[in-house]
Amino acid sequence: MNTVTNGSAPSGDGAAADELDVVIVGAGFSGMYMLYRLRKLGLKSRVFDRATGVGGTWYWNRYPGARCDVESMQYSYSFSQELQQEWRWSEKFSAQPEILDYANHVADRFDLRSDMQFETSIESAHFDEIANRWIVKTDRGEEFKPRYCVMATGCLSSARVPDFPGLKDFSGKTYHTGHWPHEGVDFTGKRVAVIGTGSSAIQAIPVIAEQASHLSVFQRTPNYSIPSRNGPMTDDYEQSWKRDYEAHRADARQTKNGILANPNDQSAIETSADERREVYEQRWADGGTRFMASFNDLATNAESNDTAAEFVREKIRAIVKDTDAAELLAAKDYPIGTKRICVDTRYFETYNLEHVDLIDVRGAPVEHLTQDGLRQGGKDYAFDAIVFATGFDAMTGTLARIDIRGRGGRALKQEWEAGPKTYLGMMSAGFPNMFMVTGPQSPSVLSNMMVSIEQHIDWMADCIGHMETSGHAVIEARPEAQDAWIEHSTEIAYTTLYPKAASWYMGANIPGKPRVFLPYIGGVGRYRAKCDEIAAAGYEGFQLQ
């Protein structure tokens, strides 16, 4: 067995490959909590991750300005009352280093590393129908035969770097926000290009602009963004949560997106113009994604949505001094919120700096990279560094990179060729005993991920516990139940405005990827109730053998 870094080693008792009960792929917040729950069941489990430590997306995304868009007091585990009380966040919206510190604290506090193996990629997972076990192989040449396989691979973990011609010709440095150097990058005095204006770019651009001698931002699609109004965590705000954390958590679990956002149960178009303006102004002043809770129909009524979108466009025009740049930055061709709403710190103000340029590539895309920079719209630009803020192959990308084969040798990638097929976003028909945490057709990226992660893990752990006590060896989704869930998930999506945007929710950022709405938009409260109902009915829609 290979030595593992970070002082961790494979399962301490030296269990044989076929004695391992569960393989968990991914050491982010999902994988850590899954290990914690499975230990409570007395199962032998091991977590594998290609990183050198825990943290998942917060291990890799170390780009300048990286920060969570869910408030710190809500983006954390709720399974341990002691953990909730002892941990102190320093800011209203936590930055990446602090979230990674939190992940490491959890791993140490619950001694999770002893059952984790880092610097290890899972290359394949094939189901053995005779033994009812998965045959899991790593890039180290190891083979394990667990009874269960849990894919805690994350929704935003496969970075997408555009295949620009001439990429290898560029003599400067290139970076991707999803795979940032751990030692950091100093852009002082550098000519820098940022390609992309999604969430990571909106966070990184103001910080890079503070260092770079010149910054050029290449934008294809503008994004709506709300100021975060971030600041130090106050004792009063912290204690307002800690005094009754349990009740706050319970309330959050029944909301639409797992976030307590003080929603306004009024329609935007049924509110007077003056009152509507007052609500938007207050939400803008408060900052954060709570802006989208200004009214109850922003996601479903185009006329109502237009009022919110135009308000944000007016704010952009008021902030950005160059009128041409302001119009380029003001999104107009999709409803606000139908792409993940961004949260920023002085993003639009950055374009008022003399050394920052905004370049529209919608009609004239980047043609190719050159030795000195890149060519766009027939013009050559020279740079010392290029930052790709081009996003991820969301929700399905990481699973597609693993050779996963179920009954009859069926490949998951082929089964999902026309779009992902799941039951509850947790299992896929024909792939027994394989669970997916926050998979396609679950609330996942449309929610506070920590709420969805804990709900999924708790359901899966309870399910495995039921399997153990009832003497069942195999559980898998029934095809008819899966088809019904996909139909339900799709039907709900198209009652909203979300499919109107060419977003990564629809797979639109990946050439050739099927255009289907990936997450479940029915709400985390509704979804939780459905999952509980299915379990209470003896795991209705699943076949247990």
pLDDT tens track for 36-54: 999 999 999 999 999 999 9
Query: Is residue 185 domain-shared with residue 319, that is, in the same domain?
Result: yes
* Residue appearing with tokens 């102004």: 281
Phi and psi torsions of 328, nearest 5°: -65, -35
| Total-model pTM | 0.95
Where among 355, 388, 421 does a domain terminate? 388
Whether 153 and 180 share a structural domain: no
Tell me: pLDDT of 381 over 80.
yes
- Alpha-carbon distance 266 to 260, whole Å? 17
Residue 320 in any domain: the answer is yes
Question: Is residue 519's pLDDT more than 80?
Answer: yes
Q: Does a structural domain hold residue 74?
A: yes
Q: Within a domain: residue 12?
A: no
Query: Which residues, in sequence order, are CB contacts of 95 under 8 Å at separation 6+?
Result: 65, 66, 67
Q: What percent of the chain has pLDDT over 90?
A: 92
Q: Is residue 180 located within the same domain as residue 153?
A: no
Burial code (b: 16+ CB inside 10 Å, e: under 16) for 227-253 equals: bbebeebeeebeeebbeeeeebbeebb
Main-chain phi, psi angles of 14, to 5 degrees: 65, 35
* 376 and 402 share one domain: no
Is the model's pLDDT at 185 over the cut of 70? yes
Check whether residue 378 and residue 519 sit in a common domain. no
Give 217-263 pLDDT, tens digit per residue: 999 999 999 999 999 999 999 999 999 999 999 999 999 999 999 99
Name 132's Cβ contacts closer than 8 Å, sequence gap at least 6: 147, 432, 433, 473, 474
Domain endpoint, select from 388, 404, 432: 388
Residues 278 and 213 in one domain: yes
CA distance 153 to 30: 8
Mapped to the 3 state alphabet, what secondary structure does 136-156 carry? EEECCCCEECCCEEEECCCCC
Per the structure, the count of domains in the chain is: 2
Are 219 and 352 found together in one domain?
A: yes
User: Of the candidates 424, 417, 442, 413, which has an alpha carbon nearest to the alpha carbon of residue 514?
Assistant: 417
Task: Examine the pLDDT at 3 and tell me if it is beyond 90.
Answer: no
Dist CA 453 CA 211 (whole Å) = 37
Which strands make up the sheet holding 366-369, listed edge to edge?
366-369, 373-376, 379-382
Residue 4 in any domain: the answer is: no
> Taking all residues of the chain, what is their mean pLDDT, rounded to a whole number?
94
Q: Which CATH number characterizes residue 129's domain?
A: 3.50.50.60
In a domain, 3, yes or no: no
Residue 420: the pLDDT is 96
Residue 48 domain-assigned?
A: yes
Backbone angles phi, psi at 375, to 5 degrees: -115, 130
Domain limits for position 122: 17-157+394-544
Quick one: tokens of 66?
């990286």
Distance CA 502, CA 416 (A): 20
| Residues 290 and 428 placed together within one structural domain of the fold | no
Q: Of the residues 388, 421, 440, which one is the last residue of a structural domain?
A: 388
What is the three-class DSSP state of 506? helix
User: Do 245 and 130 reside in the same domain of the chain?
Assistant: no
Q: Poorest-confidence range of 15-19, 64-68, 511-515? A: 15-19
Query: Do 277 and 358 reside in the same domain of the chain?
Result: yes
- Do 281 and 356 belong to one domain? yes
Residue type, 211: Q
115/194 same-domain check:
no
Please say whether the beta carbons of 421 and 485 come within 8 A.
Answer: no
